[in-house]
Every structure is written in C-alpha cells, then in structure tokens.
Structure 1
Amino acid sequence: MDTFVLVLDESGAKGYSNNQEVLENEFGVMAGFIFSDKNLKGNYCACVQTFSDFASEGKLHITELSPDKQKQVRTKFFEVMQATRLNWSYEAIKVQGLYESENIRIPSEFTEKVLLHERLFIGLVLKVVNELNSSEEKEIKLKIITDNIDRPIVERFCKSIDEIIKLLTDKKLVYQYKKSDPIAKKSQIHQFEINVDYNKNFISIGKFDYSIKSEDSCLTFMADILVNSVYHHLKKKLESDPDLQLNSSSAIQGYPLAELVGGCRDEIEGEITSFSDFLYRREAPKE
C-alpha cells in the first residue's frame, strides 16, 4: 500500500448549511496539493528553503503580507509547483447552493445542520481518492495535513470520511436520524439504507486508511497560498459568468497551475458534470 500526503486549506465563505448567502454567488473553496509520502522530507525541505523568510514563525497567512510581498510569494509558489510538478485539486461550493440542498431539495428530517467546511473537505478528499485510484492504486493510505483547526471540526471530518469510505468499500451505508413525534412528545430514531450498484464510473477501492494532522508549517503556508489564489481566480470568473460551474474545467481554465489540477471535468453540452456542482447548485435567489 503506497502512502500519499494531502496538504490542504480553505478560503472564502464559512458557516453552516442553514445560512443563506450574504452576497450573490458567495462561495467557499478548499484546495490542497498531493505527493507521495516518500517525497515528504524532500518537499518539506524545498518548501522551508523557499518560504522560510516569509513563514519563519508558525503559519503565516498570505493576506497578512504587504501587496508587494504577496506578489513575490505567489510567484515563488507557482515556480515551486511547476518545477516539482505537484498535483493538486480543489472543491468549491456556493453558500446558497448548500442551503438549498440541505433545506429545500432534501426533506429536513433526513438532514442535520452541516458545516460548509465539512462538505468542502469530503468533496476534496473524494476527488483526491478518485485521482489516486485512477493510477491503479486500489489500496490507498492518505496522510492529511491541515493548519491548526479545532478538534470538534477534525472529528466531523473523520465522521464524514468514515461514512463515505464505508459506502465505497462496502457498497452500503445505513443512516440513522431523529424525528420528533408530537403525539408521543419525544424523538424517535429512524434509519434508511443506501446501496450502491458498482459500475465503471463509480469510485471503488479495496482498502483506505487515513490520518489527519494539524500543524503550522511551511507546507500549510503553501496550502494557504494555493487556496487564496484559487479563491480569487474563481471569484473573478464568477463576476463575468454568474452561472459558472465552480468545479468544471472551464472554471479553472486560465489559472497558472490549471495543467496540474485533478478532479475537474469538461462540461458536456451544458450538462453539469461535477457531482457537487449538481448537488449544491444555486437555483433561486436568497429568500
């Protein structure tokens, strides 16, 4: 079993699925770069050598730098990514789309309030697993590195991964949820089962192990630079095309590292080809 490392960060909107957008087409994005665990030491050393002057004391957000230094850092970052040919991926979700998905399109008794951060995370991990699986790595171990985040959020991340991986490996997942009974004046536990009929277009893995580690380092600083630049790229694209599918190939086209991205698909005759773009589509303005 080969081991891979995913270093990620998020940018843009935050909050829960019961929040509606404040600004039209408000969205959040999570992005990360991937490499083999055997290259961890080499990549870390190269990262320290390149960014130590900017991130010498813990993690530094690129937004905390002066405009001139931000430009320098982005230039260096793009050069490092191009030189090392590091693959990367991202997941973007519109706030209003998440709200509609969790409160309108799906009956409320089947849902619970979820974090946008959580949905971004599982979407990104699934893209990475799919890309690794397409490289014929049927048994995957993924070391996930994030900046320092609260333990409850990490626990939510783990719960989401465990549920999805169980579905991918067992082809079955049982959900339990509580529903209030006004007559009995108490909550009752209900459950429903999801079964998957495997086909060639569905992600299928034999075994998946993972770990999540939080740290402040040059690696997480690189992830901060990546997601910040991706966020501003997508935001600018949305300004010219409000109906843009955020996870499509056309959305990331023109970004300096577009040739290294994984998980984006071309739109086919106007159809939405990204699962998350379909599930979290924005159909109506804020109520």
Structure 2
Amino acid sequence: MGIPQNLSHFFDFFAIALICLGEIMIEVEFYCDEAGRLGYVDSPEKYRGEFTLVAGLIVSGYVMHEVVRFCDYLSDRYRLLEEGGKFHVADMGVGRELIREDVLSFIKMHDIPLVYGANYFQPLYLRYLELKESIESAVVNMKRQGVGLSSNISRFTMNAQVEAFFNFYSKAMGFSLHVLNQPLLGLVKTDRVDDMLFDQYSRSIERYHNINSRGILKGRHYHFETREVRNFGVEVNVNVDAGDFRFKLLQDSSGRVEIVDSSLSILADVVTNSLNHHLKRYVLESDCGPLNGHDAIKGYFLASQVCVAGEKSMDLIYPYPKN
C-alpha cells in the first residue's frame, strides 16, 4: 500500500496516547460517499470506461473536533443543508465553487489522508455473464442426472457500489493499521443509504476482518425421481497464518457503519465529487488505465494526501477489457 510520507504525523496524538495508556482500542473515522455508476452489475456499461467510486477521508485525533467545527461553519455560512438530508455539491448553484474551495483547502491545511476505491463497471458485468452462463449450464447438466439446481442468479449478483466500498474500507483500515500498529475500531460515516445497502456495507466490513473465519456454504439437494429434498453444508476456510501478528491485528480490529446527516457528509461529498471529475479525465487520457494506482491520481490537487493501494487492488482482479 502506498502511504503518503507527509502524513505520518497525522496519528501523533494516538501515538502519545498509546505510550501513556498502553494497548487500547482506538477509534478512527472514515467519512465516505459514492459517485459514478451505482447498483447491480446485471447490465453493461452505458459508455466506455464507466466506473464506480467510493471515496472519502480518514479522521482521527484532534482533527475529529476540527471537522465538526468546520462542518458547522459551512452549514451556517451556506444555509443549504437540512438535518437528515443528503448533500450533493454538484446540485448547488451559487456557492458551489466556494464551498468546494473551502473544503479542499481545509483538508490540505490539516493534511487529512484521503482514500478511494474505484472499479470499472464493464469487467464486473462480464464476470456476471460468465457466472450466469456457468450456473445455467450446471442446471442443465444436473437435471440430466435427475438433480435439481436453482437457476436464480440474483443471489450471486455483485453490487458495483459495494465492491468499491470494500476497496475503500480495505485501504482506509489498512493504512490506519499500518501507521498505528494497534487494534482499531473503524467508524464509517456516510449519508443516508437504504437498509439493504447498509447491510451490504456492514457485511463487507465483517468480510475484511474475518478473512480466515470458517463458514458454512449452505444449499439444498433436490432429486427429481424421488422428490427428496436434502439440506447440506460445505465448510469453507481460507488458509492464513493465524500466528502472523498482522493477521491478529486485523481480527482484533473491527468496524461499523454510522449514518450521519448532511452537515457532516459535506467533506466526503466534495472529495468524492472532485476525485470523480479527476478520474474521468484520467480514464479518457489513459484509455481506461488502472483506476487505483499512482498514475491515476497524478495531477490531482491533493494527490500527496491520497493513500494508494499500489499493485494489490481491484485493478488486477477486474482490469478493463481491452478488446
């Protein structure tokens, strides 16, 4: 993971606390918002290079209080926010550029780390088609053997926004763990989302912290001739060295999603909006190059504060198809 060198001081407050108090559970806040193509990947991209973005910032220590005060200042100055509502800087008329300038200047002044997760929509859709074809083929083959399989593909359909969120959270928590080297509680703060998306975000966090957990893949076996229905389960385990300190640190840490009103979601909205515009230009200039590397953020106003995943990212798993 590429970590901006000038941000090591960002966690100095916590380093002092750890020395004085010993090992404690530290709270770090991850503000985030989304942009681009959202929803399930059961249809193709609408234009070449369409992507999904979840982006935001890492807030900790004294900066937590600075953020609250700054957001209150913005709310009072622009008087455009309603409690419990959603804020979108792109929807503003007069004052849009002023509030964007205020927010980005505040982030730069406090050297607040920025994080984002982005993925192209088309490769996710193509993977969906492969899975759909595989399931349909399996249904036909098993039916010939007298065994019934469900052809319902919906349970396997990926949500582009959730995949981008997992990418975002992995970077944010990974960066924080690397710097602090102590168990953390990551509080994801986002504006209003529906219950289903809230649940999917929460399961993404659980998935990140329980990479080696044993789980049961459940199913039902139906025999056409005997009409017998039998439930079954397959135990799944990922082999990871449980003695590795980094793995223990990951398991001892946790995260959860918190819904905040629009007065606190301003920062993440502005960051996401600015990164979205920057990445759109990059996609055109690079002919759909990797979205999560150093090249992607080159020239961005706050590039020196962005935590970059480097080579271990969605870019390797779901590269944009060149043909």
Answer whether TM exceeds 0.5 for this pair. yes
In structure 1, which of residues 27, 35, 41 is the aligned counterpart of residue 59 of structure 2? Answer: 35
Q: What is the SS of the residue equivalent to 1:53? A: helix
Letter in 2 for 1:20: P
| CA distance in 2: counterparts of 1:275 and 1:208, whole angstroms | 21
Tell me if structure 1 keeps the 8 A contact 2:32–2:188.
yes
In structure 1, which of residues 73, 77, 82 is the aligned counterpart of residue 108 of structure 2? Answer: 82
Tell me if structure 2 keeps the 8 A contact 1:19–1:95.
no
| CA distance in 2: counterparts of 1:180 and 1:103, whole angstroms | 25
Say if 1:122 and 1:224 are closer, same or farther in 2 by CA, change over 3 A. Answer: same
Tell me if structure 2 keeps the 8 A contact 1:96–1:282.
yes
* TM-score between the two structures when normalised by the length of structure 1: 0.84
For 1:97, the equivalent position in structure 2 comes to 123
Tell me if structure 2 keeps the 8 A contact 1:28–1:94.
yes
Q: What is the SS of the residue equivalent to 2:210? A: helix
In structure 1, which of residues 225, 235, 241 is the aligned counterpart of residue 286 of structure 2? Answer: 241
Q: What's the RMSD between the two structures over aligned residues? A: 2.9
For 1:24, the equivalent position in structure 2 comes to 48
| CA distance in 2: counterparts of 1:203 and 1:242, whole angstroms | 40
| CA distance in 1: counterparts of 2:38 and 2:232, whole angstroms | 30
Tell me if structure 2 keeps the 8 A contact 1:175–1:193.
no
Q: Which sits farther off after the overlay, 204-213 or 237-246?
A: 204-213
User: Higher strand share goes to which structure?
Assistant: 1
For 1:270, the equivalent position in structure 2 comes to none
Mapping for residues 142-221 of structure 1, pairs under 5 Å: 142-167=186-211, 171-174=212-215, 176=217, 178=219, 183=224, 189-191=232-234, 192-197=236-241, 205-221=250-266
Say if 1:114 and 1:188 are closer, same or farther in 2 by CA, change over 3 A. Answer: farther
In structure 1, which of residues 20, 30, 53 is the aligned counterpart of residue 77 of structure 2? Answer: 53
Say if 1:45 and 1:242 are closer, same or farther in 2 by CA, change over 3 A. Answer: same
For 2:68, the equivalent position in structure 1 comes to 44
Q: Which sits farther off after the overlay, 30-39 or 119-128?
A: 30-39
Q: Deviations over 1:15-50 (max 9, x none)?
A: 113222111111110001111155423321022214
For 1:120, the equivalent position in structure 2 comes to 164
| CA distance in 2: counterparts of 1:206 and 1:34, whole angstroms | 20
Q: Which sits farther off after the overlay, 210-219 or 10-19?
A: 210-219
Q: What is the SS of the residue equivalent to 1:28? A: strand
Aligned residues: 274
Say if 1:172 and 1:209 are closer, same or farther in 2 by CA, change over 3 A. Answer: closer
> What displacement does 1:284 show?
5.8
For 1:69, the equivalent position in structure 2 comes to 95
Larger Rg: 2
> What displacement does 1:114 show?
2.3
Tell me if structure 2 keeps the 8 A contact 1:100–1:282.
no
Q: What is the SS of the residue equivalent to 2:42? A: coil
Q: What is the SS of the residue equivalent to 1:245? A: coil
Letter in 2 for 1:115: N
Percent identity for Structure 1 against Structure 2: 20
Tell me if structure 2 keeps the 8 A contact 1:93–1:246.
yes
For 1:133, the equivalent position in structure 2 comes to 177
Say if 1:12 and 1:179 are closer, same or farther in 2 by CA, change over 3 A. Answer: farther
> What displacement does 1:175 show?
5.4
Q: What is the SS of the residue equivalent to 1:34? A: strand
User: Higher helix share goes to which structure?
Assistant: 2
Q: What is the SS of the residue equivalent to 2:193? A: coil
* TM-score between the two structures when normalised by the length of structure 2: 0.75
